[in-house]
Amino acid sequence: MEFSFNRESMTEALQRIVGAAEKRLTMPILGNVRIRPVAEGIQLDTTDLELAWTATTPGEAAEGLDSTVSVRKLLDVVRAAPADATVTARVDGERLTVGFGSSRFSLATLPGQDFPELESLAIEEWLTVPQRLLRRLVEATMFSMAQQDVRYYLQGLLLVVDGSTLRAVATDGHRLALNEADLESPAVSAQECIIPRKTVQELRRNLLEDETPVRVGFGAGQIAFDFGGARLTSKVIDGRFPDYERVIPQDQPAQLVSEREDLRQALNRVAIVASDKYRGVRLMATGDGCRVVTHNTEREEAEESFPAQYQGEPVEIGFNLTYLVDVLGAIGSDQVRIELRDGNSSALILAEPPDRARYVVMPMRL
């Protein structure tokens, strides 16, 4: 059975869906893409049984075609074709032959009928948001997701729809990131779900930095993101996310305002001798100035002063250096404001002037 397609269109489709393919190959077919004809051209499917991509690309395919082949090998082959080339392929038994110009490739296949499908549940409500908006919410929060935590519900991103507000929240128990934006049209009903880490990474990889719309669909145990020519569907994490509003400090008496880049560079410099295990840094703020100090088990030390405006009682507080650097990387403004209470209380970090993103970092004993 034969099919043909444009090199550029197929490359774009495969690049979008390749991330869902299972790399560990617990089931060999999970590393494959399923290829079938549809009215719009050729349908491509990948899945790891937790999330799934479906994409459609222009092309011609014989009726009855239903086969799978390694998505990464097929992508590499198609990429190798000349720009704007029309590529032809033929499935014959257990082999897929791909050709263009004088080049021919023979790849192993598995039957499309054996390809597992993620159970498709009914989507209860769709929202349409600009990709730029959703991308900003994801980028501003995803770094705070937990990694390999027994509290599986922390290993994802909480997405909340509340009236006209779309909110993203992530925490690993030591830090928290929250950002929100307004929807053009209020949602019909409130929605809340925890999106798994891999799905968040796939979403971030595919969202554009423009006003192109993406449809977000909520269903029982699933969430979907429809990009038009492709749809990402994922299971959601079944768990109760912590009450994040309770941990956001209120009415902090001390405030430190500095250039974001000055603070970031100061932290990066002292990080040279920071302990690889604890990554601790001590921030000292007084009316006379601010500085960061760190040391390691070999009694090496680093100290850096940076320009800042500080209002409040003198404070000395320890932080995980990486947590502070991550927050500074997510903030888009030139200045940053750190609100403090004392050396034993969490800090609230904001852009200056403030936007709707809020970051909480717990103190660290040094």
Task: Write the pLDDT tens digit of every residue in 306-348.
Answer: 999 999 999 999 999 999 999 999 999 999 999 999 999 999 9
Q: How far from 66 is each of 31, 34, 193, 210, CA to CA, in Å?
A: 16, 7, 34, 36
Query: Residue 259's beta-bridge partner residues?
Result: 335
pLDDT of residue 54: 97
What is the reported pLDDT for 24? 73
Query: Cβ atoms within 10 A of the Cβ of 163, count?
Result: 11
CA distance 363 to 155: 22
In total, the chain counts a number of residues equal to 366
C-alpha to C-alpha distance for 41 and 54, rounded to whole angstroms: 13
Is residue 92 scored above 80 in pLDDT? yes
Q: What's the whole-number average pLDDT of the chain? A: 94
Say whether pLDDT at 360 is over 90.
Answer: yes
* Mean pLDDT calculated for residue range 54-74: 96
Which fold would CATH assign to domain 2-114?
DNA Polymerase III; Chain A, domain 2 (3.10.150)
In the CATH hierarchy, which top-level class contains the domain 248-361? alpha beta
Where does the pLDDT of residue 366 fall: very low under 50, low under 70, confident under 90, or very high at 90 and above? confident
Here the tokens at position 173 are 């128990």
Q: What is the DSSP secondary structure assignment for residue 152, as one 8-state letter?
A: G
Q: Is 3.10.150.10 the CATH classification of the domain at 123-245?
A: yes
- For the cut 80, the answer to whether the pLDDT of residue 41 exceeds it is yes
Cα 134 to Cα 282: distance, rounded to the nearest angstrom: 35
Q: DSSP character for 122? A: P
Checking if the pLDDT of 113 tops 90, the result is yes
pLDDT of residue 90: 96
Q: Give the mean pLDDT of 350-358.
A: 95
In sequence order, which residues have a C-beta less than 8 Å from that of residue 77 and are 6 or more positions away? 98, 105, 107
DSSP state of 185: S
- Tell me the average pLDDT across 173-199: 95
CA dihedral 116, 118, 119, 121 (to 10 degrees): -160
Instruction: Provide the sign of the torsion angle of the four alpha carbons 146, 152, 158, 159, taken in this order.
Output: positive
pLDDT tier for residue 253 given thresholds of 50, 70 and 90: very high
Q: Does residue 277 surpass a pLDDT of 90?
A: no
Encoded tokens for 329: 């990387």
Residue 248 reports pLDDT greater than 90: yes
Helix extents (H) in 141-259:
197-206
- Per the listing, tokens 């921030």 go with 283
Question: Do 123-245 and 248-361 fold alike per CATH?
Answer: yes
Domain ranges across the chain = 2-114, 123-245, 248-361
The pLDDT > 90 percentage for the chain reads: 88
DSSP 83: T
